[in-house]
Structure 1
C-alpha cells in the first residue's frame, strides 16, 4: 500500500501558504430588545424599521464590531428623519447616546454572564439642559462590540406616513458606514400622562451626594436638580413620587408650588406636552397637625386625588401590624380624604384587620401571581372583597424577591428563558419590559418601585445591592466630570427606555380593551407571558405581541366617527368606576382598562394570524433589507380614538416598597 505521508505534507504546506484575511470592522442596525455586549457577533443589517403613534417614543441601536483592528474616535449622527410634506423629526425629538458599560462581579441570577453590560446612556446632546455631552468620540476595541442608542419622539402634530433618516457612523482612517432608519407613523396618539399611575421613590440625599459629594445640600441647591430628575421620569412615562426635600417641613407652600406645581399641573417643559405626575407622597412627620396642613393644601390645589401617605413598609418586617393600625387611625382622624397605602398582600390584609385602614394595597408580583404554596397561581380574586369598598385600589411591585434577596438564595423560577420581571441591568431586555404587561394581566391599576437612586454615587462602576446589579438604581449622575457639559443632569439607563416601552405597551393593551375587545388584549398578553414567573427572554415576541394589538385596535376603530366634544386626554374621574364582576366577566370602568382579573379568553372575536402585520415591530424595530416599514392592511388609526380613550387616572396613587430598607 503506497504511503500517503507526502500527500499530507503537501496539503499542510498548501494550507499554511493560504493568505489570512483580517476581519474588517462592522456596523449594523439593531432593535431595542438586544443588549449589545462586547462579545456580540457582528450582523449585516443596514436598515431598521420602526412604527409608532404620535406622541410615542421609539428606539433602536446602531451596533459596531471592531474587527481585527478596532475603531478609533467613532462618531455618529442622525440629522433628521424626513417625512410627508417636507416634515422632519429633528432637534430634541432625535437623541443619540453612547452605551456605557458597567462591569458586574456577581450575577443577579445564577447563570447570567458576569462582566460588561451596556446600561448608562451618555447623550450627544442631553434632553434636559440641551448641552453637548461626551457621547462621541469613543473607541471600539478590536474583536469587541459597542453600540449607539437612538431615541425618536414623534410629536403630537406629526402627519402620519413614512419617515426616513440615515445614521452615519465615522471613525479615523476614513471609515464610514450608514444605517437607514425607516419609521411609519400611524394616525393615532398616545396620552402624555400614563394611563398606568406609578410611584417610583427617590431619596433626595442620594442625589445630593452623587452630584456634589456632600451630604448637606440646601433645598435651594437640591430642588432644581430634583426637578430635572422628575422631568426625565415623566418623559419616560413614570412618576417620582417622593423626591421632595424633607427639611424644612412643612415647606413654604408658595415655594413648593413654584417648583412642583408645573409637574403636577402638566405645564412643565417636557417633550410629552401636558404630562403630569400621577402620584405624590406625604413625606413629613406623622403627626396630626402636619397631616392636616398637607391635606388642606393638596385639596386647595386640586392634587389630593393623587396624594397618599404610607402606613408602613411590609409588615411585620419593616413595620409592626400594631403600628400600621395606629397610623391608619391617625390619618383617618386628622386627614380624611388623604389616601393610605401599604405594601402587603390579601392574606395579611384580612388576617390582621387592616382592610379599613388601607386604601391601596400593594402586593409583590410574587404574591399576586406566585409559585409559593401560599400564593400559587393568580391571586387577583382574593382582593375582590377589599376592592368592593369605594376608593380602594390594587397596585403591584417587584423586589429583590424576583432574583433572591441574599446571595445564594436566587429565585428558583429564574430558569433559562423564563423568570420574573426584573429591572436588573444584567437581565434580558424582555425582563425589564415585562412588568407593565403583568400589571395589566392581574388587573392592578398602578405600579410602585421602592427606590431609583439607591447607588447613584457609584452607578457608573458598581450598582450591586440586595443581591442584584441595579437593584434600586435606575439613573446615573450626569455630572460634567462624568459626561461633559456644564450643567448637572440625570442620565437615563437602558432600563429606563425599556420601562418606558412597557408603559407604552400598556397603552396599547388598554386601547384594545377600551375599544371593545378586552378578551383579545388579555389573550395576547397571556400568550406572551403565561405566568408572572415565566417571562420569556425573547424580545421579538414582545414586539410581535404589540403589533397584534395595534392591528386589532385598527380593526375595532376603523368605522367609528370622532366625537368633536371628546378631548384627546379625556379621563375617568379618579374615584369613578365599578369593580370587576365576581363571575370573572368583562369588567367596566377603570378595572376594565387594566385588563380585569381574567387570565384571558382563548378565543377572542378576532385573532391576528402570525405575520399579519409586516415590515415593522411594535414600538421597536425590525432589522434587515428591503422595503419601507408598513402595516399590512394599512394601519389607519383615528387620533381621537386612541388619544381620547378613557384614561385610567390614579384613583389612589400610592407606591410601595419591598423587602429592603427605604433608602
Structure 2
C-alpha cells in the first residue's frame, strides 16, 4: 500500500518546478581554463607561494545559477603580512572568450575558450578599462583573473588578502587569499633567453587600420608591447621598425629596453635577445655589429640567417647568409632553426652559433628523432660560444590537420600555445627546455592575427598559433590609450619561465639531480605533457622546498587541506558516488547563517563532447540539484510513513 502511494506521489514530485540553484563564487587555480560549462565547486580560500619578485596568478570563478548575475564587479585589497603588498602590485582582469569554430586538435570541444584578459586598470598606461561590470548568464560560468607581483623588498612570511565580488543581486561574496612569501628572490631578467618575434605591420594594422603607420607611431606602439612582454619575462627580439635610422635615434627609444632602465614592475628587466632586422648586406651587418658592441649589447644580439631550411630558405642561401656574417661581422651570433642532423649533413657547424630545432625533433616520437636527441648536439656545443635553443610550432597540434593526433591523446601531447589546449600545455615548454639543456626559446610570431584576435585566431590549423596578444584599442577595452592586452597563454608562459628559474636555482644550489628528477616525473618526454594543472603546482612546490632546504632558509609551512576541494577541473574527477559540496552564493553576506543549498550531483570536469560544449551550460546545475531534491523528498516520504509518531524526534522551538 505504501508503494502504491509512492508511485502516485512521484509524478506529482516530478511536476514540481526545479529547485533553485543560486549563483556561486569560488577561488580557482590559474591552471584551470574556466569554460562556460565548468561546474561550480567550493573553494573559499586560495593558498599561494612565491618568491620576492615573482608573479603569482589565480582566478575567481562565478557561476550564474538559475538566475544569472548582473553588474559583476571585483576589487582586491592589499595583502597584509610582515608588510603590505600594495594595490599597484595587484591587477584584476575580466576573462574574455574566443569562440572557436574548428578545434586545434580533433576531438577538442569547439565554442568559447577563455584567453583575452581585459584589465581593470591596465599595467602600461595606468588607465581604467572596461573589465567591470559584466554579466554572468544563467547556468554558465565566467572568471576573473588576478595577478600579484611580490615586491623585491617584501619580507618573507604569511600575507593575507581578499577579493570582494559584488553584483546587482545582493550582498558581496569574498574569496580569501593566503600568500606565503619565501626567502628567495627571482631575477628580473630571466636566465632563459627568449626570442619571441613581432612583425610591426601587424601591430600597426590592428591599432591604426593600416599596416604602414609612420615610424613614430610604430615606436610608440611597439614600446608598449615590449613593456608588456618584459613584465611577462619574454623578449620581443625583433620588435623594431624596419626603416633605417641612425644609432643615436635607435638608442634613444630602445636603449632603456636593452639597458634595463625601462619602467616595469620587474626592476632592471631587460631584453635577453636582440635581432638584427636590417638588410642582409655587408654594410648593414658591420654597422649593426659595431653599434651594438659599442653599447654593450652585442652578446645578446643575433643574426637570424635562415628559417627551417629547405622550406623557409634553401640550404645554399642559408650558407651564403652565414658566410657573409662570418666574414664581415664574426662577433655577431648566427641563428638557424634546424636540427643536428641537417647541421652535420650540410657542414654548417662552424657557421652557426645558435641551433634552434623544433621540440618534436629534439625529443621525438618517430625516427630519425625517436627519443631525446640531446646527445647529437654535443659535438656542436663543444665549440666555443655555441648554444642550443628550441621552439614549438604547428607540429605540436598538427600542421596538416590531425597529423599529430596519436601523440595528442587526453592527458598527453606536446607543449602548445593554442587557445583550446590545456593550461598545462602552455606552461610546459620551459620545463622541456631545462630537461634538454636548452638555454633559449624562439617563437616565430606573437601578433600574427592581432587585427582579428578578439574574434578569430585560427592559423596553421591552430587557434592562436603565432598570436599571444590582443589589441587593446579604446573601442575594444575602453580608456584613451592603445595598449597590448595579454592572453592567458602569455601568463602561463611567464609561469613556465619562472619554473625554469626554480629548476636552475635548485641546480645551482647543489642538487641538479633533484631538479631533473622533479622535471622528468612531471614530463616523462616532450610528447607526454600532462593536462593536470595542479601537477605543475606540486612540482614547483617541491623545487621551492628543496631550494629553501639547500640554502638554509625557513621551510614552507604545512598547508591545511581545504575541505571539499575536488581534483583540478582540467582532469576528470574519479567516480566516488558522493555529490559535490555546494558552493557559496553571491547574495548571502558573510555574517549570515543560512542552511547550505542542495548539493550538486554534476561532474566537476569539463564536458567531453562537442555537443555538450555547444550547449554552453554545466551539467552540475539546477537539473542535478532538482533530481537530488526529488529523490530526497521521496525517501523522506517513505520514512515518514514507516516511523510511528511516538518515536519521532520532538520539534525544536
Coarse TM-score class (shorter-chain normalised): 0.7 to 0.9
- Say if 1:49 and 1:615, in contact at 8 Å, map to a contact too: no
Match of 2:21 among 20, 23, 32: 23
In 2, distance between residues paired with 1:231 and 1:198? 15
- Say if 1:428 and 1:537, in contact at 8 Å, map to a contact too: yes
Deviation at 1:159, TM superposition (A): 1.2
- Who is 2:93 aligned against? 97
Give SS of 1:381's match: helix
Cα 1:290–1:527, aligned 2, differ >3 Å: closer, same or farther? same
Any residues of structure 2 matched to 1:228-247 within 5 Å, and which?
228-247=224-243
Cα 1:253–1:615, aligned 2, differ >3 Å: closer, same or farther? farther
Deviation at 1:97, TM superposition (A): 0.1
- Who is 1:578 aligned against? none
- Who is 2:143 aligned against? 147
In 2, distance between residues paired with 1:272 and 1:383? 34
In 2, distance between residues paired with 1:81 and 1:179? 13
Deviation at 1:215, TM superposition (A): 2.0
Deviation at 1:406, TM superposition (A): 2.4
Deviation at 1:348, TM superposition (A): 0.3
1:74 maps onto 2:101 in alignment: no
Any residues of structure 2 matched to 1:243-392 within 5 Å, and which?
243-247=239-243, 249=244, 251-392=245-386
Match of 2:51 among 46, 50, 53: 53
Deviation at 1:328, TM superposition (A): 1.0
TM-score norm. by structure 2 comes to: 0.84
TM-score norm. by structure 1 comes to: 0.83
Cα 1:373–1:221, aligned 2, differ >3 Å: closer, same or farther? same
In 1, distance between residues paired with 2:510 and 2:379? 27
Cα 1:11–1:225, aligned 2, differ >3 Å: closer, same or farther? same
Query: What per-residue deviation string (whole Å, max 9, x for no partner) do you get for residues 251-295 of structure 1?
Result: 221111011100100000010000010001001111101110000
Match of 2:189 among 174, 186, 193: 193
- Who is 1:131 aligned against? 127
- Who is 1:157 aligned against? 153
Match of 1:460 among 448, 454, 465: 454
Query: What per-residue deviation string (whole Å, max 9, x for no partner) do you get for residues 572-619 of structure 1?
Result: xxxxxxxxxxxxxxxxxxxxxxxxxxxxxxxxxxxx9xx9964599xx
Give SS of 1:510's match: helix
- Who is 1:657 aligned against? none
In 1, distance between residues paired with 2:395 and 2:557? 38
1:489 maps onto 2:488 in alignment: no
1:109 maps onto 2:105 in alignment: yes
In 1, distance between residues paired with 2:560 and 2:497? 23
Query: What per-residue deviation string (whole Å, max 9, x for no partner) do you get for residues 81-135 of structure 1?
Result: 1111xx2212320000000000000110112111100000000000000000000
- Say if 1:548 and 1:613, in contact at 8 Å, map to a contact too: no
Any residues of structure 2 matched to 1:565-644 within 5 Å, and which?
614=559
In 1, distance between residues paired with 2:282 and 2:504? 39
In 2, distance between residues paired with 1:613 and 1:435? 29
Deviation at 1:14, TM superposition (A): 4.5
Instruction: Using the TM superposition, name which of 219-228 and 11-20 deviates more.
Output: 11-20
Cα 1:16–1:424, aligned 2, differ >3 Å: closer, same or farther? closer
Query: What per-residue deviation string (whole Å, max 9, x for no partner) do you get for residues 378-431 of structure 1?
Result: 100000111111011000000001111122434420011000000001000000
Query: What per-residue deviation string (whole Å, max 9, x for no partner) do you get for residues 218-277 of structure 1?
Result: 111110110110011111011000011111x2x221111011100100000010000010
1:211 maps onto 2:191 in alignment: no
1:166 maps onto 2:162 in alignment: yes
1:474 maps onto 2:474 in alignment: no
In 2, distance between residues paired with 1:349 and 1:35? 40
1:180 maps onto 2:176 in alignment: yes
In 2, distance between residues paired with 1:295 and 1:133? 42
Instruction: Using the TM superposition, name which of 29-38 and 8-17 deviates more.
Output: 8-17
In 2, distance between residues paired with 1:454 and 1:189? 34
Give SS of 2:67's match: coil
In 1, distance between residues paired with 2:236 and 2:15? 65
1:63 maps onto 2:57 in alignment: no
Match of 1:513 among 494, 498, 507: 507
- Who is 2:602 aligned against? none
Query: What per-residue deviation string (whole Å, max 9, x for no partner) do you get for residues 321-346 of structure 1?
Result: 11111111111111120000000000
- Say if 2:183 and 2:548, in contact at 8 Å, map to a contact too: no
Deviation at 1:372, TM superposition (A): 1.6
How many residue pairs are counted as aligned between the two chains? 567
Cα 1:16–1:366, aligned 2, differ >3 Å: closer, same or farther? closer
- Say if 1:551 and 1:613, in contact at 8 Å, map to a contact too: no
RMSD over aligned CA atoms reads 2.1
Cα 1:19–1:285, aligned 2, differ >3 Å: closer, same or farther? closer
In 1, distance between residues paired with 2:263 and 2:560? 34
Match of 1:432 among 426, 429, 446: 426
**Please, which runs of 5 or more residues in structure 2 have no aligned partner?**
569-579, 582-653
Cα 1:236–1:224, aligned 2, differ >3 Å: closer, same or farther? same
